[in-house]
A = this chain, B = another copy of it.
Amino acid sequence: MSTLGLDSMGMTQALRIAADVTPGKIATRQAGREQSWAQVQVNVKRLAGALKDLGVQTGDRVAILALNSDRYTEFQFAVWWAGAVVVPMNVRWSPTENAYSLNDSGAKVLFVDRTFSAMLPAIRPEVPTLEHIIYLDEPDAPDGLTSYDQLLENDPIEDANRTGEDLAGLYYTGGTTGFPKGVMLPHRALWYNSIVCVNCCGLETEHIYLHAAPMFHLADIAMSSGVNAVGAENIYMPMFNPAGTIDMIEKYQVTHALLVPTMLTMVLQDPSFEPSRLSSLQFITYGGSAMPEGTMRAALEQLPNVKFAQGYGQTELAPFATVLPASQHDLSSPRLMSAGRAVPGSEIRIVNEDLNDVTPGDVGEIMVKSPGVMHGYWNQPEQTAATLKDGWVLTGDGGYRDADGFIFVVDRMKDMIVTGGENVFSAEVENAISTHPAVAEVAVIGIPSYKWGEAVHAVIVPRAGQKATEDDIIEHCRPQIANYKLPRSVSFREETLPLSGAGKILKRELRKPYWDGAKRQVN
Chain B min CB distance to A468 (Å): 48
| A128 contacts partner chain B, Cβ-Cβ < 8 Å | no
User: Residue A303 at the B interface, CB < 8 A?
Assistant: no
Q: Is A342 an interface residue (CB 8 A)?
A: yes
Interface contact A404-B194, CB-CB below 8 Å: no
Give complex CA distance A341, B6 in Å. Answer: 20
Instruction: Please tell me which one of the listed residues B202, B206, B405 contacts residue A22 in the complex, with CB atoms under 8 A apart.
Output: B405
Knowing A4-B391, A371-B6, say if A21 contacts B345 (CB, 8 Å): no
CB pair B5–A404 under 8 Å, yes or no, is no
Could you say how many copies of this chain the assembly holds?
A: 2
User: Which B residue sits closest to A165, measured CB to CB?
Assistant: B5
Q: Contacts A21-B405, A230-B344; is A6 near B9 (CB within 8 Å)?
A: yes
Min CB gap A151→B, angstroms: 28
Q: A205-B341, A345-B195, A405-B22 are in contact. Are A188 and B5 (CB under 8 A)?
A: yes
> A1-20 CB contact bits vs B (8 Å, 1 = yes)?
01111111100011011001
Q: Are B347 and A5 in contact (CB under 8 A)?
A: no
A contact residues, total (Cβ < 8 Å): 52
A191 and B325 within 8 A (CB): no
Is A88 part of the binding interface, using a Cβ–Cβ cutoff of 8 Å? Answer: no
The residues of B that contact A373 with a CB separation of less than 8 Å are 4
Task: Known pairs A6-B164, A21-B405; list 17 more (Cβ under 8 Å).
Answer: A3-B391, A4-B165, A4-B371, A4-B373, A4-B391, A5-B165, A13-B345, A17-B342, A17-B347, A20-B347, A21-B401, A194-B344, A195-B195, A198-B344, A199-B199, A202-B202, A226-B344
Residues of chain A having any CB pair with chain B under 8 Å: 2-9, 13-14, 16-17, 20-22, 24-25, 164-165, 186, 188, 191-192, 194-195, 198-199, 202, 204-206, 226, 229-231, 325, 327, 341-342, 344-345, 347-348, 371, 373, 375, 390-391, 401, 403-405
